[in-house]
Structure 1
Amino acid sequence: MRKYIIIFILVGAGLPIPAFINIAVSDTSPAEASYKSATTYHDLGEFERAISEYRKAIALNPNSPIIFNRLGVAYSELKQYDAALDAYKSALALSPMTAEPHYNIGLVYLKKGDLPHALKAFKRAIAIDAEWGDAYTGLGEVYLKQGDFGQAIRAYKQATRLNPNGNPSAILGLSKVYARQERWEDAITAVEKAIEIHTDNTEAHYQLAQIYIKRGEKKKATAAMAFFKVLRQTDPLLKEAEIWVKRHPNDARGYNNLGIVYLARRRPEDAIANYKHAISLAPDLATAHYNLGHAYHKQGKMNLAIAAYKQALTLDTTLAIAHNNVAVCYIESGIDLDQALSHARTAVRLVPTASNYWDTLSQVCTALGLESEARHAHARSTKGQEKYTTER
């Protein structure tokens, strides 16, 4: 009896992830145990330990092209490109008609700046599997770097035809070509499509900012560059948070933290899913309930936001920011202003130095016609803001 394990080839050089491939391995064996251990370390980003385990697996099963291919990916992640090439070539010696090693070789040569060899490798991958869009994306990247824009466009368009809704790298590549040709509207359309598919694609937002800069659209450029900076700053945090929950699948705070990163990167649905998972693991984690409310609030789902904020307050009545945000939700919804007033007053009582809490109180008092209290709150809000500006 033989069973099949799905193997996932990792990305390199900012290009797409190769397709899933099926690998037959014999039932429980020392080679399989080492391979499984290697893939676990690989998925956790512990590439040196993964390499050690891949090598153990190869020593026990030297005829597996798949293990050699994965070994090459691990070496490539560590930027040990010569070792990666040796591993990929070993995979091809065992299975010359497999597209993945050729593709991965192309990625390595692309990273090394060896465009002729990269071009040759991607073409070989396509010759074996002409329906694999990622290989055309790699081909497009080479042509773009060589300045052959016509060929680059053809390659990228073929990649998108083969996978129209799942290949943001190819669409982003088209945007780069159009920008080089000063076809600005086409460039913007393409990069926005890439962002639609992959909301927090750091490179795509940088590309969008650069296009606006070159077009002299300062306001749009500033906004795009600001979000690019958020993405660049949170890229390592995202990686760390995702790895943390893999290592600690029962740690509610880990999922809460991952949700925070997702929300900062404009991925509210992923944030909400992680907050909910954190709550399922630790129902008394007040910060997870608060963050869930904050995510709903940003989506404009006021009833859900209020319910989550109030649940946080049930667990921690001193959470001033939750009191303030409940009040804000009521104000924005134009309902239950008496409750808004109660929560706003509690917020400033708990943290009397927070100018934004005083501003919330000023708004609700104004709405309720409490003019004296509204003026007092507004004065406290303004004073706090002036102090903050002076201290900065």
Structure 2
Amino acid sequence: MRLLLILFIALLAGCTPSYLAKKSFQDNDFQRSIQLCKMWIVADSSNADAWILLARAFYRTGIVDSALIAYERAFAVPAVKKYPSEEYYELLIADADQRLPENAAYALDQYRKAVQLDGQRPLAFQKLGDYNFEKKDFIQARSFYSQALLAAENRRPLEQRIVQIDSIEAAALKEIQLGKKMLSEGNFQNARDHFLIAASINPQEKEAAYGNATAEGLRLYQRGSINALWDAIQAFGRASVLFPQRAEPHYRLGLAYHKKNKDEYQNAIDELERAIALEPDGEFGIMAQKELASLKARKQKMEQFWGK
């Protein structure tokens, strides 16, 4: 009621809602500015300046959702060609911050909008880096932190995070090397333990997943039962998916198929031939050639014996 009275008196004095809304905003009376902006919009709903001032007033009072809606209404006006980048950029980030962690997809979309709005500002890149760091996606985190560094005035926190990522990746690599050592010594369970530790440190490290699958496959292959060999085949199959260009998984698949059923040759032959095609001069390609020759000779001998 008091606001309406002030408005009525102001109108008698020749002051418009737009003037009063701007004056209230300048006087840091943002609640009054919000009410006056709404009156201004009632009179002229296609006025982008009214919507932008309303958005700014909402933002100053911490009402992020309403500020975003008001900005979007302003940007829908055809005459508005350019976003008020600094404030809208900050608003997008504030909106994203308050949505995490419950609505991560929405928050990430808001951070990306901020990047598209102004790729020269570091904060959105840093926020994306922080999100990926918490999710242990260190490849993405490093990329975003590096982009943030290009424009950051305070470089130290970003540089510290990159050093932290270096340390994490080094710790995972150390466990992988220990796993490979155990693998070469035939200690498959200990090898697997090291690969699992590496994966827990850095889930994006494919070598850890590959080593774990290989160690598990070899452990099951060594056990030798039909069920264990089927599980070994699945483990070696996972390894082949992780690194499709490596011969080792196909070589080991060939051995596992043949050990599972010495009278069934085709699956084993197919896998050994794949290993040879991938790395004809490599360690596993050469071993596959020897195994394939032996397997084909046995197959031919059995066919001759049975008169096939």
Shared fold (TM-score greater than 0.5)? no
What's the TM-score once normalised by structure 1's chain length? 0.30
What's the TM-score once normalised by structure 2's chain length? 0.37
